[in-house]
Structure formats: C-alpha cells, structure tokens
Structure 1
C-alpha cells in the first residue's frame, strides 16, 4: 500500500514527484473557471439573490418533482436495485470544474472503483452554474470509463440555472412550465427581474456527450433531485439542499417517511451537518432539522456524508450510545478549501484526537502559504515548507506531529508563527490569534476560488464504501496529481461502521 500524507511528505505529494497521466484524459482546450471574472460572478448571482429576496427553489423543485411523478417516477422516490448483501460503491463530491484538479482524480478513482456497483456524486456536479453544455467535458468525458451507473444530488451551483442541466442529464427531464406569477410581492418581482435564466442548450452537443456513457451498464435513471437507493442491506438517502442549504417542507416530509424502518441508512447531502468544527443541523421548512432525522434511533442512520466544502473531514459523534460518522467529502475536483483554519476540534464530544481531515492541517498551511507568497510577491516571507507548517500547526493545536517522519525536525520560529497567524491557522479556542488574514471567511469564498492551482499536489479525495451484512468499510483515498499516488492511491482515512 502506498504511503499516505500521514506517513511522509512524499506520500502527501510534496517534492520532485513525477506528474501523473491524467493530462492524457483531458480535452485539448480546457476552459478554466475564473471566479473573479465579472461574467462568472454575474452568472452565479442567484445564491445572493435568494438570500436577499427570498429563496424560490422549493417551488421550483416541487414543479420538477410533480412533472417526474406524472411521467411515471415512483412516488416514494426509491431506486430499488438488485445488489447482493456484499457490494461496494463510490462517493465523490464537488467535481465539475473540468480542469486539472478534476481530471487528476480520475485515474485513481477508476483504479479503486473496480468491481463497484455504482457511484454517487455528492453536490456541485458542474461549475460554475450547472449549465447543460458543460456536462460534456465536466461529467461525461472524465467518467466515460467508469462502467457502472452514476447517481447524483445537486449542489448550490447546479441550482444556478434552476437545475435544468442536472435534471436533463440525471432524470432525462425537460423543464416544467413556469409557475404562476400572480399575487407576487415586490421582492419576488425584483428577484424575478434579476434572476439568472438558463440559456437554451446545444442539443446535438448533449447527444454526443451522452454517447460517452451510453453502455447499458452505465445507465441510471433517478426519480428527481432527491431520492433513496435500496442496495443490498443498506438504504442510501440523497437530499437536495438547494441554493441556501435548507429543505422545503415537502422534501422534509418525504425524508421523515423514507427514513423510517430498521434498515441501516447513510445520508448523502450537499450541506454537511458537521464541518470545520461546527454543527450545522440543516433546517427543514416548517420545523425540525435534517440532523433530528439522522439522530432519531428509529431511523437507524449510521453515517451522513456531505459535499460543498472542498476537503475531507470526519466526526465520529456519539448519539445516545451509538456512533454516527459525520463525513465531509467535497474534494472531488474543485479548488481546495483550507483545513488549517479549522480550530482545535471540540464539538459534540468529538475532540482533536477523534477528528480526521485531509489535507492535513500542516499541508493545508504549506499550500496556502505558497499561494499567498506568490500572489503578494513575498515568497521568502510567506512560503513555509511542509515540515515548518506541520511543526507550527502541531504547536498551535497542542498536539504531537501527525506525520510519522520529518515533521519534528523543523523548528518553530517567530516567522513561522507569524505566517501561521496571518493565514488564519486554527489553534486552541482559548488562545485566539490577534492578527490573521481573512482565510476562513472572505478568502474561503473569494481568495480560494481565485487561487486554484494547476500543478500538483492538488489534495483531492474520493471515497470507496464496501458493504457487508454487518458493516460498512469507508476509505478516503487521496489524489494529488502525481504519478505515485495515481498508480497506488493512498488511504488517508479508514473506518469500519457496524450495521447492527
């Protein structure tokens, strides 16, 4: 088994490593997503409009679902498969930027997905706005050699064009008739005036793209943007949290109904319930939260996997004597969100000792210090080696070095402490940093997307889940873009979840 980032710096992808073969999979021309481009920001305005002027996605979603049911989709939205009691499936989140980081995930994903029965994309299938015309290079081409069905739940970016591309590809559905505009409020009329509307797709382009995944074994039909899959002994429940990370009342009623019964369940959501050391239970319109449903002992959830945040995190939370694994897995291809800004974990009785993340805090700090050094033209001051970053993060968190070799050799100096503080490095909550650049807040939303890199290491990840009648083995694999991790993807985290 290949060394992981917890073993050596080389296992993390640092050093003079040979680049992988993923470039051979990419189209000759790649349209990179530049998030600071005014045209891109304007096209992605619907999330801001929804937060300011009211969120219409619940009504839009209801029209999609009603149309699907009229076309023959099952009312309970359950996909009933014939998987055996022992099977495997893949989960990959926040995939579709269509550039180097996304394609760097593909070779390792294909290698580790052999003999799996299906895959699930957890949030944000297509960036920047979920356009139908982007599915060719950002979905069908990269996964053309995955010989099993792919299901998906939408993320907020898939909703920026009212889910048109997502529903065409995954549900073979055309847009429903617009809803009534009578008796609308002033806010609703203003929102409608400013709302980004989907452009008409190139149907020939979509037809040709579909041919890349047209084999009978690759075909999948899902009943709508939210669904449940009965596979072997397990039920996988996928929910659609729309633009603002909430559930409408109708979907909330469905979630409570489909969650009943003794069958073990895993939730897949676009809005993780535990992330960055905080609890985000996900409100349901009309009362209650998604986490209330997950925690209910009569529903038998064993895990909740969320996308949206572009890294890997795991929180083993004790709920009345049983452990539910709360996982973030959004590192499937988009720019990397920092992990070094996460403070020392202390939430729901989960401590830093129990918490797992990828990239490691030190690797995240080293990655961002290089970005700031290049952008601010202060490389000699800002740039930290991976060993320096690991050592200063261990000092700030009050832990020992995570990496088994190399981290303890670096000395923590005034410069490394100052750089870590400026870059928002998390630490003990009782010792907040006085000076820090806005990495965790504004720069997580603005600087990170604008600073995507196109050379390794990328610190991407994907999951493989191996199911038996008694347990689920969840493994997080790394994809760095280097050949070493491409040929033999390292396991960055592993946990066995009992199904009793």
Structure 2
C-alpha cells in the first residue's frame, strides 16, 4: 500500500483496512471520550474567548503576572532554555492535541515510531480541550504520551487560556502556584461585566495532577519552561515559542522579548499558536504597540527559516520567497488530535507568490470534501444525496478550482449537477478569478460551526505531526500522517 495520500486513495486511509493498534493503549473510559462543540454546555464553558472579544482581552496583563511570578521563582529573565543537543538532531512538533479520544490516540503509534530518536517534542497550541483544566491533563497529555522518551515543551493555545492558563503553568512551568486575585474592576465598566461572566476553574481543579505526573516520571522526560513563551537553544538552531493568547495577538512585553531573542546569527524556527499563512490568507499577527510578528520573522538579520503555527486542525505549507532571495516555510501544523478543520474550503492558492503548484495540504481537498459529505449525509439522513466518493470529490474540486488532479489519477469521475451542488453547499473553495455571485455564503459558518462538529470516531481521521531534522547547514521538515488504519 502506498504511504502517501498524494499517491493513492489507500494511502489517505480510504478503502477496507484494519484499524490501527492505537486502541490497545486506550483505557476503556477514554474510548467513550466525546467533545461536542455543538453542545451548548461546552460552548458556555469556553465562553472566555467571546467575552475577551466583546469586553476587552485581559490575557496580556495576566500573562505579565505569570511571567513575573516565574522570574521571582528563579526562571531565567531571557526565557531561553539552553540544551546540550549536538549539531545534528531531530525533534517533533504536534499541534492541537488534547481532546483525549480516538483521533488523538491514533497519532501516537506513528509518533513514537517516527520520534524514537528525537531529542524533544513541542506541542503547538491547545494542549488541552475544552478549557485547559488541570484535571484533564491525565487523560489528554500524560497518558497518551507516557511512552515518549524525551521532554515535551508547549506553547498555549486559546483553549489553554479559558481558565487563565492555570493548568498549563502547573504542568509545564515547575508547578507554578495559582496567581493571587488581581484588583477587582469597578462597576459598571466593561471589565466589570467581563469579570462577572468570566469562566474560572473549580476550586479543587488539579487534585489528580500528582498521580498523572507518575505516567511520565522517568528521568529526562520532564520539561521545565520559564513561562508560556520561551526560546530553546538546541544544537545549531534556536526554536522560539510565542503565546498568542485568546485572540491571536502579542502583548507589548512579549513583542519586545521576541525582537530581542530574534537577534543574532543562529538560524531560528518560530512556533506559534496563530499561523501566519492559513487557508490561502495572510495573517501577520499584530503586536501591541505596532508592527507584526511576521515583520520580525521576515527581517533578514533575524535568520528565521520557518514559522509553524497550530490552531487550525490540518496541515498546510506555504513556501514564501522573500525579496532578498530567501524562502521561508510557513506551516500550519494543527493535526495532532482534535477535530479536523476542512481543507476543501481553501480557495485556489495565490498569496505572496505561492501558487497551487507550491502549496501543500493534508488532508487533500478532495479527501476533505469526501469526508464531510459522508459525515453530513449521515447526520442529515441524506446519504444518497450528500455522500461523494473520494474520486467524485477530487473531480469536482479540480473543476471548481481549475487545478489538475492532486493524486495520481485513475479513471476520472464525471462531474454531475448533484456533485456541484453538494460541493457548493459544503463550502468548497473557488478560483480567485471566478465570480462568487452564486456561491452560497457558508465558508465562515462551515469553518466555525460545522468543522468543530466533525469529530468522528471511525477512520480515516486525517491527523498529522511534524518531524524536523536539524543539521549544521539545513533543516528538513516532514509531515507524517495518521489515518487511524494500519
């Protein structure tokens, strides 16, 4: 069987196949783990992001208090972790992991195999769903990765911030104690209303953490971070992890730190919770006080070679050639375990000089459309209307975007009116030069509402992670897929 989704349907996980060995490592209770983002109770618990967008974002001030507390406890002021890695080594990047169910566990066997000789791993955003609770770390961090033999570092995502980062700081930052209460805002201000509605952790949250830590207690497995953002000097490179909080921005204090650690001749790799290129769009990530994260990344004096972001739950790669001749690899790497964000909604790529010929994504757009058409065919009890085969989905994607077949072609499928209608209803992207007059306005709704409701517990899962092989003169970045099948 082919090993790549670009080579065969079987390589993408379609067709009859035996389910992978990952279920053997799952406790029976975890097999029933379900997070539904269409459940009003779940949405209410995760309300802080909406409150921050309505009434002002408090994460910058809270982050500053966490950082000050860590410095007072002895963490290095420059927030640099200095390791003794050799000039040639490898590490993993896994994004948006922590739902705790079958899709997360399905990544683990391949991750352990591909990562058996790696020196460390980095989780890029959303370590724990739904709200970053400390008591969720046992099932969604310590147990899934209990056999990974090296340290795991992390940057928080917006979900880790839904309880003011308390669980994250306890696990990754030397069991940092809870922050003392800040000054209470005065009524009837926006800050007062926000505080009134703000979701906070339970008083006894984290009571099982000591027991959970025993699952990764072997020497050399614990990573102690100086705070929610950091830099790692590893062999010839510096890996820089930034915390973009609830709304995907940087506070002024962190922005000044990023400019400082970006200096110097050492090549650098950025890991961020907010990808800078995603879904065919440019999102440079504003910094409070002026400028953007991408301004810092593109500066030739800073020598960044890649910017890897989580938050969006799939794999995308944009090799952007800069005016000075360098090529920066902008990567989305959020396929580590949470529900799959659709890729078939990505329009034909034409951004920053990157065309369809250069762009890569996983799942392929046709596989994404086939997956979603079957999913909503089942949920709406209209499988004969909605469900497209992977060949049909690939054909209608090629027609709508005006691109050739992404996978090695077999017998081409004939595109019918039904296929076109299903593709339009499910938000399939279009060519930039084609009129949108008759396009249904479902793209944003689909991404924000339907994708979070797409978690299924039958393969293919379309999960992924990255392995980076670092040498004195080059960094090789590879995306590994996990379908859930052998």
Deviation at 1:177, TM superposition (A): 1.4
Question: Over the residues paired in the alignment, what is the CA RMSD in angstroms?
Answer: 1.4
Q: Distance in 1 between matches of 2:442 and 2:91?
A: 34
Q: 1:27-38 alignment to 2 at 5 Å?
A: 27-30=27-30, 31-38=33-40
1:332 equivalenced with 2:336 (yes/no): yes
Structure-1 residue corresponding to 2:113? 111
Point out where structure 2 has 5 or more consecutive residues left out of the alignment: none
Structure-2 residue corresponding to 1:391? 395
8 A contact 2:2–2:8 mirrored in 1: no
- Write the deviation string for residues 284-324 of structure 1: whole angstroms up to 9, x where unpaired: 00000000000111100000000000000000111121100
Deviation at 1:325, TM superposition (A): 0.4
TM-score scaled by length of structure 1: 0.94
The alpha-carbon distance between structure 1 residues 70 and 185, as it changes in their structure 2 partners (threshold 3 A), is: farther
1:296 equivalenced with 2:299 (yes/no): yes
Q: Distance in 2 between matches of 1:339 and 1:256?
A: 33
8 A contact 2:90–2:470 mirrored in 1: yes
Structure-2 residue corresponding to 1:348? 352
Structure-1 residue corresponding to 2:287? 284
What is the number of equivalent residue pairs in this alignment?
482
Structure-1 residue corresponding to 2:212? 209
Q: 1:22-421 alignment to 2 at 5 Å?
A: 22-30=22-30, 31-171=33-173, 172-181=175-184, 186-320=189-323, 321-406=325-410, 408-421=411-424
Structure-1 residue corresponding to 2:18? 18
8 A contact 1:342–1:425 mirrored in 2: yes
- Write the deviation string for residues 318-377 of structure 1: whole angstroms up to 9, x where unpaired: 112110000000000000001111000011011111111000010011011111211221
The alpha-carbon distance between structure 1 residues 56 and 204, as it changes in their structure 2 partners (threshold 3 A), is: closer
Q: Distance in 1 between matches of 2:38 and 2:180?
A: 34
8 A contact 1:310–1:335 mirrored in 2: yes
Q: 1:453 aligns with which of 446, 453, 456?
A: 456
DSSP-derived class of the 1:89 partner: strand
DSSP-derived class of the 1:217 partner: coil
TM-score scaled by length of structure 2: 0.97
Deviation at 1:81, TM superposition (A): 0.2
Q: Distance in 1 between matches of 2:351 and 2:188?
A: 41
DSSP-derived class of the 1:177 partner: coil
The alpha-carbon distance between structure 1 residues 104 and 439, as it changes in their structure 2 partners (threshold 3 A), is: farther
8 A contact 2:185–2:191 mirrored in 1: no
DSSP-derived class of the 1:241 partner: coil
- Write the deviation string for residues 379-423 of structure 1: whole angstroms up to 9, x where unpaired: 1111100001111111222121111132x5211122212211221
Where has structure 1 moved over 6 Å in runs of 4 or more?
A: none
The alpha-carbon distance between structure 1 residues 438 and 104, as it changes in their structure 2 partners (threshold 3 A), is: farther
Q: Distance in 1 between matches of 2:201 and 2:132?
A: 9
DSSP-derived class of the 1:161 partner: coil
8 A contact 1:27–1:137 mirrored in 2: no
Q: Distance in 2 between matches of 1:437 and 1:12?
A: 29
8 A contact 2:94–2:465 mirrored in 1: yes
Q: Distance in 1 between matches of 2:442 and 2:469?
A: 36
175-184 or 4-13, which moves further after superposition? Answer: 175-184
Deviation at 1:149, TM superposition (A): 0.1
Q: Distance in 2 between matches of 1:187 and 1:399?
A: 49
